[in-house]
Chains A and B, each alone.
Chain A
């Protein structure tokens, strides 16, 4: 197991947002976490990345307990996270955003890593000196993913990468995620767009108000009548 989540209980003050969630991510797979608005998907990713803390349980990454570790140290261990809403550094240029993504790498590794991102996202290369805040939503998402790849992660966590994008861009983003996975990056994907997510994923977990409701192979979830009714639009 690359990532093992065991009995997470996360609170916002008195609100018990995550209630005893356990799951795991296997090396090399795409795992998707789906659920309605407010189910707690983002909260789980924030807890794994160290921004929030669980009251109980543990987060094991690559055989090491990382619960309670500072976020910047978690990133250095090879876990990269693209937060909801992209969160590019809007005052920095495209290139500077990528450099920040490679903050943990050696100086000599940064230029080749940036070139790799530009090969994957030629659009970003054209706009390398543009201030990131002026990019379109789709370009910002590509930058956010490219930035997260700069640290050469073992595990990439994506929080709703398709949010707010036009349909053509949505399928492009899903293609990119699949390609990344094929090139060896393990992926934990949080999505509202459950159908598309399950189509590219190996396995899925369905989250409902802070608890795991279903967990199965992705293709089984796509055929599960309850999942279809509640999450795949009938």
Chain B
């Protein structure tokens, strides 16, 4: 039973990594940018949530909606202001800009909210028992919400006009423009969507871990990045799988080996997988041009 509950715990944190990793992967797919500021959106989402709840006294659902909206808008704004002007610059300039945006967000947050940790309530208190084992309601909610989002996102990317346009732009944005696709809008939409998913992840994260601080996004962001690369960057099923694998390994390491080793294990898995499959578990190896 301990083992099972550790797996469930792993699924919980893994779902959060997966939601963040999806945004990493989508953005990479469409603009070939490792958006290192992506993780810091978790922090922004958490602080907006906190501000709505404890400073404005808003209802939880309203705070959640505001948090998702703010994160989506911020994601689009970052792309417009920081990345779009560099679209034809060397990739390294973009990467450095992304790291700069990450620090900017962290420092702005320290300035506005002070470096002191803040506390958030759990919207989903209580326990349920499944098959004789006790599970926190928040764990079940986190997993369920993530599964629903992942299915919804897959259906959207596969079947809707916007989803197909995203895939077309990912593959070749010049040719996508020739189809009449507004590439700038498609890219904006992708950033908004990825950042919105991060906002959802931040709500789920806050419910279980309750404490937030300005630098909280960096380690979470790195784990999600590892998840995206592990699964195969650019692949959405890969990002989901990567997140889950990392969550489970982390949880099992904490339970059976040692908490301190958990991060080392995560990076160890990444290194091993990349040695065996450089494009990640579900990543497509670069196809040669016909």
Contact = CB atoms under 8 A, between A and B. Distances in A.
A103 B180 contact: yes
Interface residues of A, number: 28
Interface in A130-173: 133, 137, 140, 147, 151
A136 to B, nearest CB: 9
A92 B171 contact: yes
A76 B290 contact: no
A70 B185 CA distance: 13
Contact of B179 (A50, A75, A91): A75
A87 interface: yes
B179 A100 contact: yes
Interface string B148-162: 000000000000010
A75 B171 contact: no
Interface in A46-90: 49-51, 70-72, 75-76, 80-81, 83, 85, 87, 89-90
B250 to A, nearest CB: 32
A83 B175 contact: yes
Contacts of A100: 164-165, 168, 176, 179, 181
B175 A89 contact: yes
Given A89-B168, A91-B167, A103 B287 contact: no
A36 interface: no
Given A89-B171, A99-B164, A70 B177 contact: yes
B180 A90 contact: no
A94 to B, nearest CB: 13
Nearest to A148: B178
Contact of A89 (B167, B182, B284, B287): B167
Given A51-B174, A87-B172, A140-B290, A101 B167 contact: no
Please tell me the size bucket of the interface on B. Answer: 20 to 34
B138 interface: no
Given A133-B287, A133-B290, A104 B164 contact: no
Given A51-B174, A100-B176, A72 B182 contact: yes
A96 interface: yes
Nearest to B167: A92
A49 B179 CA distance: 11
Interface in B176-228: 176-183
A81 B182 CA distance: 16
Nearest to A151: B180
Contacts of B181: 72, 100, 103
Nearest to A137: B290
Contact of B178 (A83, A92, A137): A83
7 contacts: A71-B174, A72-B183, A85-B289, A92-B168, A99-B161, A100-B179, A140-B290
The 10 closest A-B pairs by CB, nearest first: A104-B180, A75-B180, A71-B177, A87-B175, A100-B179, A72-B177, A103-B179, A103-B180, A72-B180, A100-B168
